[in-house]
Structure 1
Amino acid sequence: MTYVIAQPCVDIKDKACIEECPVDCIYEGPRKLYIHPDECVDCGACEPVCPVEAVFYEDDLPAEMHSYRVVDREVFDVLGSPGGSRENGTLPRDHAAVEAEPLQAPA
């Protein structure tokens, strides 16, 4: 199990979680941030700093966001393990579920 960034992050991308992550496992996509499930050490540092409450422990995802349980994992199934977000820049594309989300205006 690992942490997941769910739908409230889409088009918001505050990035406080990136700064807080001690292992550099949170990557930026065009519309959403993603936690690499194999690089995450389950420390939980990202969860309390998210201003839109988009970070959840995988088993604690609300029912309406349950589909996001696989989004982060599937992004990295394609990309592999880039070895840290700071050195790799923005991911080339978002997961199809994120691309299908209606655009949100930042709060």
Structure 2
Amino acid sequence: MTHVVTDNCIKCKFTDCVEVCPVDCFYEGENMLVIHPDECIDCGVCVPECPAEAIFPDTDLAAAPQWLRLNQEYAEKWPNITRKKEPLPEADALNGVANKLPDFSPKPGDGD
């Protein structure tokens, strides 16, 4: 079991979660974070830290296979992030907006 980042992170990219992760399993894209499912130890400390409520155990979501695949794929491509950064400028306005997957960018972020 692992945790996955879902679409509410898209265009928000709050990074409060990365500071508390004991195994540094977050990876940064241009407009989203993902969790590497092979590195996540399922401790759950990131879940309450996410202001966007975008992190879930993979067993809690009907769409978990889609998000698990996306997290796995991009964790292999994007740089690791271990420190808190400013969220995207539109984060507060877009927090909670449904169906943001069409806005997903496959481009990498800067990492640490």
Tell me the residue number matched to 2:81: 85
The unaligned stretches of length 5 or more in structure 1 are: 87-98
Separation of aligned partners in 2, 1:102 and 1:44: 27
**Could you say what secondary structure the match of 2:72 adopts?**
helix
CA RMSD across the alignment: 2.7
1:49-102 Cα offsets, whole Å, 9 max, x none, are 1111100000112x46763232101224x549x7x534xxxxxxxxxxxx9623
Separation of aligned partners in 2, 1:64 and 1:36: 17
Tell me the residue number matched to 2:10: 10
- Percent identity between the aligned chains? 43
Tell me the residue number matched to 2:108: none
Contact 1:18 1:26 in 2 (8 A): yes
1:13-66 Cα offsets, whole Å, 9 max, x none, are 1100001111111111111101011111111010111111100000112x4676
The unaligned stretches of length 5 or more in structure 2 are: 83-99, 105-112
Count of aligned pairs: 88
Which AA in structure 2 matches 1:7? D
Tell me the residue number matched to 2:70: 71
TM-score, normalised with respect to structure 1? 0.68
Contact 2:37 2:68 in 1 (8 A): no
Which AA in structure 1 matches 2:17? C
Closer/same/farther in 2, CA of residues 102 and 79 from structure 1, 3 Å limit: closer
Which AA in structure 2 matches 1:102? D
**Could you say what secondary structure the match of 1:48 adopts?**
helix
Separation of aligned partners in 2, 1:44 and 1:9: 17
